């Protein structure tokens, strides 16, 4: 047996990046420190009590009293799949609103789970009005309607109130993707009337990737309980997860204490700051960025009225090698921003100010660096 | 909006448990420290190079040259589901060898993915002979055969060499669950001829839960490529994961740098120790435990010839309140062991000596504590 040469595998020494892309965002030192705490078994009473508190804090950030509120052991994509896998039964008519990459992903997942998927589409960067959803449901009723709150691929913020009302009037289940919005802008699950809402740990909650918060209201739970057969997905089966996170504490999988310590500490930081203050911080730092971009003659892709505070898409100026600029930002200044995704590839940069990344010093640094490189 | 009272959410302060259950095992301080390194984006060149090295080190612990070798972003259960979701197509005849809880779980997952599942069964604690598999395949051929190498619910070690040969002669794909065995006993994927092998980070690799290593040989990849349609599971779709972990680096989900730092450091510790030394350590500490148990008149459930070194099931002595003993171990001495699962619930304790938990000092402490409580 040939053993690897240890000298080919040095200790990790990752550069300290300023993470201003679409996520992961930077992680507060207290959150990193929390992960170094001793590992607990997944059924240890000390861990169960941390789980309870995580669920309570998630209810706060989701603004919900939903009992079934928990983090799945996976990233935001796993949380998306949790929503789809548990709600979509084979043959269910599903309406997905697609105005960016992640709407498209929901549609793909829904098809995989046997949904009879119809999409309505909008150009990337625009958002849907309630009348479009109403018309689509009038043309073809759907049991499930899915929409993305903050499209990370376009930078647009989708208003939800009226759409939620339309879906409810029509008796549908509304799934909202709040991966990028949760903790950065208001996500009022109960007030708005969202049936299923999910997110990720690595955006505005400021934790490492690996935990996917999700919450289900009573109508969604009814649908779950009335399923004709268990869903295909076992790892993300909410009926099993609910038994582990709920009173029964029935073993399902080995939840990671380390990731949950991180999530707990990240949520404590949200409470310390206060949700409203956190939303206001994301706005004020975004405005600082937008004013600075204007001075550099850089034009956001999305009009300010529907622009995300935590993710700004910026049009690439004529004649600029967008890849080179990103490489230089990383190489010279340790700053990560992202290129466009899908339709917007090569057309925009994506600048994220999420969670602990959303700080004035990061905005000033990025603007100064862009000025150097574009000047 | 009512904000939670921060005093209800104190800083985490988990007790330093001696983790001697079926996993998670204890995590080496260097692994915990690695997680505190700055987070990197999932497409950062610095992270991509860590990913490459993780794949090389996983090939070493799996003893394989399989190109498609990677950790999925989930626990060992997610790795199991990755194997099933990618290999089992609707209607595929599947043979699952069930002699414990986890064999049963593979069968359940295979049914969910539409497999035409047949099981062969053995009492919990026994193992399968090659002739039983040969007979089952003669009665009904199967495209996929699944078996558990180290049944964490029973403590039995399943010999694989002859079974692998039988499956190969019959043209089947062999899936081996090495969640508990990898890093603790030899798992020679290429020599044995295993087509799909998966594991978890939190057992004998000594990392926190959250990463699920998996490797696929060429016959498994052929099956994957010949699928009639994409699998239902998107998050664990190996055709998409291979594009992210392979040369294309196509975005799929946001891999967690923190968890991968931990996995990398855990794998470095394996290299430092050497796989053979690590296997020998697991054996010698197990023997120390077994000798001590004998002195306490405690009887292992599985005969020594097929007993796992990293997980010993111990029969509960007549008249002993097994739950109380476990509670006292935890309360008085911070030692976690586990009760039985499924058929063996209330009948055995499960004592794990996995990864960094497998140390003589832990064995001596447990024996002394058991002597106190049972004496």
Domains of chain A: total: 2
pLDDT of residue A280: 98
Q: Both B260 and B324 in a single domain?
A: no
Task: Find residue A344's DSSP bridge partners.
Answer: none
| Domain at B264, CATH number | 3.40.640.10
Asked if B9 lies within 8 A of A37 by C-beta distance, the reply is no
Cis peptide before A24 (omega within 30 of 0): yes
Q: Which chain A residues contact residue B265 at CB under 8 A?
A: 11-12
* Residue B40 touches partner A, C-beta closer than 8 Å: yes
Are residues A35 and B32, on separate chains, in Cβ contact within 8 Å?
A: yes
Q: Are residues B40 and B176 in the same domain?
A: yes
Residues B280 and B227 in one domain: no
Same domain, B34 and B134: yes
Q: Does B362 touch chain A (CB under 8 A)?
A: no
Kindly tell me if the per-residue pLDDT of A375 is higher than 90: no
pLDDT value at A147 more than 90:
yes
Which pLDDT belongs to residue A35? 96
Kindly give the interhelix angle for A218-225 and A76-87, rounded to the nearest 10 degrees. Answer: 60
**Would A1 be classed as within a structural domain?**
no
Beta carbons of B17 and B334 less than 8 angstroms apart: yes
List, for residues A321-343, the tens digit of each pLDDT value: 999 999 999 999 999 999 999 99
pLDDT of residue A167: 98
A266, A288: one domain? no
Domain assignment of residue A7, yes or no: no
In this structure, are A162 and A299 located in the same domain?
no
**How confident is the model over A16-41, as pLDDT tens digits?**
999 999 999 999 999 999 999 999 99
Residue B2 resides in a domain: no
Same domain assignment for residues B67 and B101: yes
Q: Which two tokens stand for residue A360?
A: 């004035």
On whether residue B7 sits in a domain, the answer given is no
Contact B9 A268 (CB under 8 A): yes
Residues in chain B within 8 Å Cβ distance of A9: 53, 57, 264, 267-268, 271
Phi, psi for A174 (deg, rounded to 5):
-100, 120
Residue at a domain's end among B253, B271, B289: B271
A160, A55: one domain? yes
Does B6 fall in a domain? no
**Residues A92 and A109: beta-carbon distance below 8 Å:** no
pLDDT band (50, 70, 90) for residue A200: very high
Do A160 and A265 fall into the same domain?
yes
Does residue A254 sit within a domain? Answer: yes
Residue A67: exposure state from Cβ atoms within 10 A (0-12, 13-18, ≥19): middle
Q: Does this complex have an ipTM over 0.90?
A: yes
Same domain, B232 and B328: no
Q: Long-range pairs for B326-333 at CB < 8 Å and ≥24 separation?
A: B328/B373, B329/B366, B329/B369, B329/B370, B329/B373, B330/A44, B330/A45, B330/B17, B332/B369, B332/B372, B332/B373, B333/B18, B333/B365, B333/B369
Handedness of CA A210, B84, A101, A192 (dihedral sign): negative
Rounded average pLDDT over A169-182 = 98
CATH of the domain at A311: 3.90.1150.10
Average pLDDT over residues A66-92: 98
Q: Are B171 and B149 in contact (CB under 8 A)?
A: no
Residue A368: pLDDT band (50, 70, 90) is very high
Query: Within the 192-231 window of chain A, which residues sit less than 8 Å (CB to CB) from chain B?
Result: 200, 202, 208-210, 230-231
Residue A209: domain span: 37-271
Q: Which of B223, B243, B271 is the last residue of a domain?
A: B271
Cβ proximity of A351 and A36 under 8 Å:
no
Rounded alpha-carbon distances, angstroms, from residue B122 to A22, A227, B265: 51, 33, 38
Q: How high is the mean pLDDT of chain A?
A: 97
Tokens read off for A316: 């690439």
Measured between beta carbons, the chain A residues lying within 8 angstroms of B81 are: 233-235
Q: CB-based contact (8 Å) between B302 and chain A?
A: no
Give which of B44, B300, B366, B246 is closest to A14, Cα–Cα: B44
User: What is the H or E stretch that residue A136 is in?
Assistant: helix A130-139
Looking at the fold, whether B284 and B254 belong to one and the same domain comes out as no
> Could you give the residue ranges of the DSSP H alpha helices within B274-310?
275-295
The pLDDT score that the predictor gives to residue A171 is: 96
pLDDT band at A370 (very low <50, low <70, confident <90, very high): very high
Residue A251 scores a pLDDT above 90: yes
Q: How far is C-alpha B112 from the geometric centre of its chain's CA atoms?
A: 21
**A46 CB-near residues (< 8 Å, 6+ apart):** A40, B14, B15
Q: From the CB of residue B94, how many other CB atoms can be counted at a distance below 10 Å?
A: 29
- Domain assignment of residue A2, yes or no: no
What per-residue confidence (pLDDT) applies to A94? 98
Distance from CA of B318 to the nearest CA of A (A): 26
**Is residue B233 in a domain?**
yes
Closest residue of chain A to B89, computed from CA coordinates: A232
Last residue of a domain, one of A249, A271, A293: A271
The answer to whether the predicted template modeling score (pTM) of the entire model surpasses 0.90 is yes
Query: Is pLDDT of A12 > 90?
Result: yes
Q: A231 to chain B nearest CA, in Å?
A: 7
For chain B, which residues score pLDDT lower than 50?
A: none
Query: What is the structure's pLDDT at A29?
Result: 96
Residue B229 shares a structural domain with residue B80: yes
Specify the pLDDT at position B282: 98
Nearest to B133 by CA among B153, B119, B115, B151: B119
The token duo for A375 is 């000047």
Q: How far is CA A319 from CA A315, A331, A347, A368, in A?
A: 12, 21, 11, 20
């Amino acid at each position: 047996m040939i053993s690897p040469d240890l000298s080919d595998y040095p200790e990790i020494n990752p550069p300290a990046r300023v993470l201003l892309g679409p996520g992961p965002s930077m992680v507060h030192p207290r959150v990193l420190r929390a992960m170094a705490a001793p590992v607990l078994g997944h059924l240890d009473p000390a861990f169960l009590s941390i789980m309870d508190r995580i669920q309570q804090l998630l209810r706060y950030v989701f603004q919900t009293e939903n009992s079934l509120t928990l983090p799945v052991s996976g990233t935001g994509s796993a949380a998306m799949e949790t929503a789809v896998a548990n709600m979509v039964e084979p043959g269910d008519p599903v309406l997905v609103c697609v105005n960016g990459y992640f709407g498209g992903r929901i549609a793909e997942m829904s098809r995989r789970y046997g949904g009879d998927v119809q999409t309505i589409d909008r150009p990337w960067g625009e958002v849907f009005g309630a009348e479009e959803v109403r018309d689509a449901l009038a043309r073809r009723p759907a049991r499930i309607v899915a929409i993305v709150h903050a499209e990370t691929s376009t930078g647009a913020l989708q208003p939800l109130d009226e759409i939620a009302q339309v879906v409810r009037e029509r008796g549908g289940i509304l799934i909202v993707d709040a991966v990028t919005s949760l903790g950065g802008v208001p996500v009022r699950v109960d007030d708005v009337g969202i049936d299923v809402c999910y997110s990720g740990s690595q955006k505005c909650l400021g934790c490492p990737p690996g935990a996917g918060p999700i919450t289900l209201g009573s109508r969604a739970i009814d649908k779950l309980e009335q399923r004709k057969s268990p869903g295909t997905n076992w790892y993300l089966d909410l009926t099993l997860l609910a038994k582990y996170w709920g009173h029964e504490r029935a073993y399902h999988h080995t939840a990671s204490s380390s990731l949950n310590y991180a999530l707990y500490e990240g949520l404590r930081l949200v409470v310390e700051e206060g949700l409203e203050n956190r939303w206001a911080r994301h706005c004020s730092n975004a405005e600082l960025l937008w004013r600075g971009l204007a001075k550099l003659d850089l034009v956001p892709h999305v009009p300010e009225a529907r622009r995300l505070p935590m993710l700004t898409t910026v049009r690439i100026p004529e004649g600029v090698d967008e890849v080179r600029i990103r490489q230089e930002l990383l190489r010279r200044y340790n700053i990560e921003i992202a290129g466009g995704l899908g339709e917007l590839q090569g057309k925009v940069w994506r600048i994220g100010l999420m969670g602990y990344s959303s700080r004035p010093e990061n905005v000033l640094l990025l603007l100064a660096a862009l000025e150097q490189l574009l000047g």
